[in-house]
Amino acid sequence: MYLSELNVGEKKNFLELAKFAMGLNGEHKQEEQEIFGSFLIECDQTGYKVKKQDSIESVIKVLSKSSQQSKRIVMIELFGILLADGEVCDAEEEFIENLASSFNIDAYEYKRYQRWVAAMNDIVSEGYSLIFKGEENGVI
């Protein structure tokens, strides 16, 4: 939604974080893969292959030097993939807490992002329910 506001380097580093976050619960779920695919498109990086998964701390360090606006975008968009399955597991929670700390973002603020993304997901789901009401396979 907001990834177009990031510069090319920030987009690639965001994609690294998103892919890393996908695996924190021990698997890459279908919903997460679909969202990651949409991130690739939104970042105009459809051919991008992640290559920094073993050095994710260096990715965080680079992104921590970005503007506060860029760091907020990264956090909000990451919640999109973390909440894809409807919940944030303990490993994901620990990751986002550490990321927020690296980004100098207070807990109350990132919790606000999480609530907002969850609410947006609910609204989108409700929209699909309204549009495809009564259709067997209409709800995503």
Residue 57: other Cβ atoms inside 10 A: 11
Q: What are the extents of the domains in the chain?
A: 3-110
What would the pLDDT profile of 17-61 be if each residue is shown by its tens digit?
999 999 998 888 888 899 999 999 999 999 999 998 889 999 999
CB 83 within 8 Å of CB 116? no
Residue with tokens 């991008």: 48
Virtual CA dihedral for 94, 95, 99, 101, nearest 10 degrees?
10
pLDDT for residue 125: 87
Fold of the domain spanning 3-110: TerB-like (1.10.3680)
Look up the pTM and report it: 0.87
pLDDT for residue 87: 83
Report helix, strand or coil for 136. coil
